[in-house]
Structures are given as C-alpha cells and as structure tokens.
Amino acid sequence: MKALFDAVMLSYDEPLADKLHARLQRILGTPVKRLHGVHGMRRAYRLAAEVVDHEQFLLADGDFVLATEFALPAVEPLADGVSMRVWRARNPLNGLIYGYGGLKLIRRSALRELGDAVDVLAALPGRCEFTADIAGTTRINQSPYHAWKAGFRECAMLARGSEYGMDDAEAAERIAAWTAGGEGEFAEFAVSGAREGVDFAHEAARAPALFDKLNDPAWLAQRFTGGHGEQAIAG
C-alpha cells in the first residue's frame, strides 16, 4: 500500500540525533528524511515543507524517542481545517506528559503559510489538534546544555503566556513541575533553566522583542555558558 505520509526529523546539535533517527526509521518502517543544523526554527520548519513529497507528514524533533508500539498504519489523516496534530510525550526528568516535544502530523501547505509567533508552530493557519495518545519520550537531557535549554525555553514561553490557548492555571502547574526539581541525568540543569526562563520572561515583558532570542541557538548557548561556565555543551 502506498504511504500516505512522509516523515521528517529536524535536528540541530543533539548528541543522540543519529541514533534516534535510526530508531524512527526502524519503528515506522519507512525512510525518515532529515534536516540537520538549520539555523533558525522558522527557517527549519519551512524547509521541512520543501523536502517532503506528501501534503501531510510526520515531524519529529532531534531529541524525540518514538515508542516501539507506535503504529504508522493506524495514523488517520488530518481532517479538513486541521493544520497539525500533536501527540503527547513523556518528560523523563519531571514526569510531565503533554504536547511538549511530541510527535506531530502537519500539513506542508500550512507550513508554507506560517505566521509569526515565538512558539513557531503556534502561528500555523487552521486548527491544532491535540491527542491524548502518548507517542514517545522527549529526551531533553542529552547534555547539561540541552537540559538547561529545554527548561529555559519552555518555561519562558509558559510564563509569557501559551500561544496555544492554554489557561493560566494549567501553565502555572507546568511551570511548578519544571522548576520544583527532577530525577535523572542533568536534571539539575533543566531545573536551573526553567527557573531562569521564568525570570527571563519577566525581563522580556518590558522588551517583547527579546522573546525572539528563544529561537536563536547562538544566543541560547551564550546565555548558558555565561551563567554556568564552560559546562560540556555536548555532554
């Protein structure tokens, strides 16, 4: 049977990206295209739309660990008016399970019409569909830097106000989980990043253009080394 969907991994500098890309291909049973090292998230997403052959395609981050039980043949196409579906992912450090870092099914045409938002995919036209199903784990703790960056970016965006319509109480609960602590390798860096991300959001509220820095890899790396010294960014 002819495949209905392409699959793409977007990776930047994640130490385990090669292994996770191979895992995606093995579990999905189909070739997974890969874009690596593209500077700027908006540009990376737009380029993803140009490497696929189908209107709808699966999109995974470079730190996403697909669950072995995920069944590609069971994936239903997006309904009319829906631009993206997001499966939930487990956070291995704080136990949260929600759309952060999750697998996505997305329309190529929607990416080509991407608007402006700090959380880039929140600017897609059409509706976003969140499913209760868990597709895997977001392996954010591949190095001290990657753990810190995950906490920093997510909590800065949650503190700023979710662009997906999440209510303030739910956002506050997630910030509390990120900042309270965690278990696992480099968990302390994720917690530090989360707390610093909340502080950054308060700082950026007075200069909203600063929020664009959340999508600037060089700025994030500099912010990390400035606050934490020369920790091993690559693990």
Query: What confidence tens digit (pLDDT) does each residue in 86-108 have?
Result: 999 999 999 999 999 999 999 99
Same domain, 10 and 113: yes
DSSP state of 142: S
| Residue at a domain's end among 103, 138, 173 | 138
Among 1-10, 14-23, 55-64, 98-107, which stretch is predicted with the lowest mean pLDDT?
1-10
> Predicted confidence band at 122 (pLDDT cuts at 50, 70, 90)?
confident
Cβ(87)–Cβ(134) below 8 Å: yes
Which helix (H) or strand (E) segment holds residue 109: the answer is helix 108-111
Q: Is residue 234 part of a domain?
A: no
Q: Across all residues in the chain, what is the average pLDDT?
A: 92
Spell out a b/e string for 129-141, using b for 16 or more CB atoms within 10 Å of the CB, else e: eeeeebbbbbbbb
Distance from C-alpha of 55 to C-alpha of 22, rounded to nearest angstrom: 23
| Residue at a domain's end among 138, 168, 197 | 138
Same domain, 163 and 179: yes
Encoding tokens for residue 124?
């897609």
Same domain, 131 and 149: no
Nearest 10 degrees: Cα torsion 163, 168, 171, 172: 150
Q: Is residue 14 part of a domain?
A: yes
Same domain, 77 and 160: no
pLDDT cut 90: percent of the chain above it: 81
Among 39-43, 44-48, 227-231, which stretch is predicted with the lowest mean pLDDT?
227-231
Same domain, 103 and 166: no
Q: Is residue 169 part of a domain?
A: yes
What domain count does the chain have? 2
Cβ(114)–Cβ(124) below 8 Å: yes
Same domain, 105 and 173: no
Same domain, 105 and 164: no
Same domain, 26 and 128: yes
Does 38 score more than 60 pLDDT?
Answer: yes
Residue scoring higher pLDDT (192 or 233): 192
Cβ(233)–Cβ(145) below 8 Å: yes
Q: Is residue 235 part of a domain?
A: no
CATH number of the structural domain spanning residue 55:
3.90.550.10
Q: Is residue 133 part of a domain?
A: yes
Query: What confidence tens digit (pLDDT) does each residue in 158-217 have?
Result: 998 865 667 889 999 999 999 999 999 999 999 999 999 999 999 998 998 999 999 999
By residue range, what is the domain housing residue 220?
A: 144-228
Distance from C-alpha of 23 to C-alpha of 9, rounded to nearest angstrom: 11
Q: Is residue 233 part of a domain?
A: no
Distance from C-alpha of 200 to C-alpha of 134, rounded to nearest angstrom: 30
Residue scoring higher pLDDT (160 or 70): 70
Same domain, 167 and 123: no
- List the beta bridge partners of residue 82: 127
Encoding tokens for residue 94?
């704080």
Does 1 score more than 50 pLDDT?
Answer: no
| Residue at a domain's end among 108, 138, 168 | 138
Kindly report the length of the chain.
235
Q: Is residue 92 part of a domain?
A: yes
